[in-house]
Amino acid sequence: MNLLCRLPATLIGVTATILISQSPAVYAREAKSITVKSITGQIDTYDRVDLSVQVASELSAAGETAEDFYNQGGQKYDKGDYQGAIEAYSRAISLNPNYAFAYNDRGNARSASGDNKGAIADYNAALKIDPNYANAYYNRGIARSGSGDNQGAIADFDAALKINPKYAEAYGNRGNARNRLGDKQGAIQDYNEVLKINPNDAKAYYNRGKTRYQLGDKQGALADYNQVLNINPNDAAVYTSRGNVRDELGDQQGAIADYEKSLKINPNYAFAYLNRAITRSSLGDKQGEVADLQKAADLFQQQGNKEMYQEVLKIIKRIQWTT
């Protein structure tokens, strides 16, 4: 008797969130998501820095320009010193109150430190100075999305794309927002646009594959996961996702091979053990099933995932009761 069942995967953050700075650096924060056949988890006040005129005068007297402080902000951001970056950008703004780039990049630093409200205020300021600033629309869209305002995010990505129709990141993140609102076909259209601009964008293939899987297009999902692995053959999560699809298409041996590749890349990937247990269960491999479940439980416990640890223990106990 197979006590393991496949439950719907939860969409946990479809792609990397990219914050675009005016300087050449691209700032990225990634929340990786996976497709699993098991149970998955569900998904401060803006404090404006107010530098006085006296401080601004002292900074000017010291000989440092707004551009100097702007560059210092970028260096601090690259090192992960977001508070230091905010302070440097604030000094740049105190010397040049119309410095749209500094407002944009201070917004990035505030967003990276979790202050989406403060970030949105900075992007608003940048757009007041320059209403055709595509990056500021894009970054405000990211912050709005992070605040749960997906409709507002889509409006901002639309504005960025009106200014720059080749803005691949804006298509990708608009697709994510559409996905979260349940517009799966709209999301796929946006991922298609990303791939027209950049045919080697692994995230777009992955997100399109995940969305196709959710729509029941397993062959389409399989094709997209294959493309991801052609671009990046060392992504453990994608091997697991492809294994899930192969299992559902009846290719259990192919699924197990994918889970094993996943575990070779990341031996501590608890979901790969859990999904391999499900496939082994369907093949009647009771010993392998229990061993994988126990390993998954141990890893979930070590990694602090209490919910999944408890769920796997329940499955193990149910199996023990029936043997």
Q: What is the 3-state secondary structure (H, E, C) of 257-273?
A: HHHHHHHHHCCCCHHHH
Whole-number Å distance between alpha carbons of 28 and 45: 23
pLDDT score, position 320: 85
pLDDT score, position 62: 60
Which SS3 state, helix, strand or coil, does residue 27 take?
A: strand
Q: Does residue 323 register a pLDDT over 70?
A: no
The residue among 21, 133, 26 whose CA lies nearest residue 71 is 21
Higher pLDDT, 18 or 36: 18
Helix boundaries (H) for 16-81: 53-61, 66-78
Q: Does residue 59 register a pLDDT over 80?
A: no
Verdict on whether the full-model pTM lies above 0.85: no
Residues 6+ apart with CB under 8 A from 80: none
pLDDT score, position 3: 42
Q: Does residue 194 register a pLDDT over 50?
A: yes
Cα distances (angstroms) measured from residue 179 to each of 34, 275, 280: 15, 25, 32
Which SS3 state, helix, strand or coil, does residue 88 take?
A: helix
The residue among 17, 14, 99 whose CA lies nearest residue 65 is 99
Q: What's the mean pLDDT in 189-209?
A: 98
CB 260 within 8 A of CB 273: no
| Out of 40-49, 202-211, 233-242, least confident range | 40-49
Q: Does residue 104 register a pLDDT over 60?
A: yes
182 Rama sector, left if φ>0, alpha if ψ -120 to 50, beta otherwise: left
Q: What's the mean pLDDT in 127-148?
A: 97
Q: Does residue 46 register a pLDDT over 60?
A: no
For residue 163, the tally of other CB atoms under 10 A from its CB is: 15
Q: Does residue 215 register a pLDDT over 70?
A: yes
pLDDT score, position 305: 97
Q: Encoding tokens for residue 321?
A: 């009761």
At 39, phi and psi to the nearest 5?
-80, 130
The residue among 158, 150, 153, 204 whose CA lies nearest residue 180 is 150
For residue 64, the tally of other CB atoms under 10 A from its CB is: 14
Higher pLDDT, 39 or 74: 74
Whole-number Å distance between alpha carbons of 1 and 259: 23
pLDDT in tens, 251-291: 999 999 999 999 999 999 999 999 999 999 999 999 999 99
Helix boundaries (H) for the chain: 53-61, 66-78, 82-95, 100-112, 116-129, 134-146, 150-163, 168-180, 184-197, 202-214, 218-231, 236-248, 252-265, 270-282, 286-302, 306-321
Q: What average pLDDT is seen over the chain?
A: 85
Cα distances (angstroms) measured from residue 63 to each of 58, 60, 68: 9, 5, 10
Q: Binning pLDDT at 50, 70 and 90, where does residue 63 land? A: confident
% residues pLDDT > 90 (the chain): 79
